[in-house]
Amino acid sequence: MSRDMNPGAVERAPLALDGEPRFAWRGVMLDVARRFRPIPELERFVDLLAAHGVNVLQLHLTDDQGWRFEVRAYPRLTEIGRHRSASQLGHGQASTLDGVPHEGWYTQHELRGLVRYAAARGIRIVPEIDVPGHARAILAAYPEYGVGGAAAVAERVTEPWTRFGIDDEVLNVEESTVAFVCAVFDELCEVFDGELVGIGGDEAQKTRWRGDPRTQQLLVERGLADEEELQAWFLGRIAGHLAARGRRVIGWDEMLEGRDPAPDAVVASWRGPVGAELGARLGHEVVLCPDLWTYFDYRQSDDPAEPIPVGTVLALEDVAAFDPLPASSSTALRKRVIGLQANVWTEHLDTRDRLDYAVFPRLGAFAEIAWNGGPLDWASFAERLPGYLAWLDEQGVDYRPLDGPRAEQQRPGVPGVPRDRAARIAELERLTASLRSAPVVE
């Protein structure tokens, strides 16, 4: 048993998790911004993760669709940001709104308790506040931090976003906004005592920055080449503030597309090799969470009965075939990878049972790879699978059956947008090629 596990805290799932683990970081990211999950459900989730040898839970606490973390200095973040009037039903152009209000938030006291609960089970919680994009819930509460002036932002943003996707709204880059974000992270650091803090940095659209005269003025005054460097400047200010508190940041791989924002940042690479290789070459520690292998909100088969099919097919067999560090991996990447993470985005996982359906039994295959390396020997894993599924039954987990969803797990008539795996691979190859010419510090 690994030194970082707490024996006896949680019964171990019947998986091949013997000896010392291959990867120090064996994580799961759970999005509680799109879909709030109450503390008892999070404690149950922590227990299940611990049983799988997972030792990191990244909590995605904020996004366009909701703000879940109590900030005492800025109470409207939860007063307004905790609630949206409806949620998108389905995915893509054919989707509608369900008309059902959704809300929830965590007090600082509750989250301190969750940190203690997880630590007792060998799991550290890494909180994430996503900036400068995915900011619509912030701007619904405090429009003065948006682009174009408070009045204009207030007209555009009246509540957290009821739709899913990538929105154009971003924070502005005034010093007052930097101070606001730093104050939010100060309170976050008072609740979460771990070294690492998530700052997001993903999918921040630059449209509003490009069209805003004030933003363009600040870009020139700061001697920055473009909006990508402006984002790096913004994230670097946050990282520097957190460093003064003895913290390091973890961010999604897009944060490397301008200037490197923080030399000691951990890079979570979700776009396959795009950010992983670049981050490693720049000297960053890297957590691998490529969407093709570790995004557990992705559809599990081509079967039309799959509920709200999004993303590429990620069947249990596909997860088992994940090779984190294939022979073609660079020496730099092999030196810098500290672990693996499965990401669970919850746009369409609106209940505990739907979360169970998405995560299990795929987490079983992921857990063995995170512990032992991959890919798995499928024949060997298949022998363990019946016992593992029986164990999930004993835990009351509403997992996806191997032969497809049961009738009550389906979502007939709710549209999705499936993606083609080959097309996604080609897209990642183009992105990787575009970053190969970026300046690199070995």
Catalytically active residues are 63, 134, 203
Q: And the tokens for 191?
A: 């609740």
User: What are the strands, taking DSSP E only, across 154-211?
Assistant: 196-200
Distances (CA, A) of 371 to 22, 23, 195: 5, 6, 22
User: What are the strands, taking DSSP E only, across 276-424?
Assistant: 285-288, 310-311, 337-344, 417-418
Closest by CA to 170, choosing from 112, 197, 130, 111, is 130
Taking the C-alpha atoms of residue 248 and residue 241, their distance in angstroms, rounded to an integer, is 10
Q: Is 140:80 a contact under the CB 8 Å cutoff?
A: yes
Cβ neighbours for 70, distance < 8 A, ≥ 6 positions apart: 77, 78, 105, 106, 107, 108, 111, 187
Taking the C-alpha atoms of residue 297 and residue 42, their distance in angstroms, rounded to an integer, is 18
Query: How many CB atoms sit inside 10 A of residue 424's CB?
Result: 16
Instruction: Tally the residues of the chain.
Output: 442
Taking the C-alpha atoms of residue 182 and residue 394, their distance in angstroms, rounded to an integer, is 45
In whole angstroms, how large is the CA radius of gyration of the chain? 21
Taking the C-alpha atoms of residue 81 and residue 158, their distance in angstroms, rounded to an integer, is 10
Cβ neighbours for 198, distance < 8 A, ≥ 6 positions apart: 58, 60, 126, 127, 128, 129, 130, 249, 250, 251
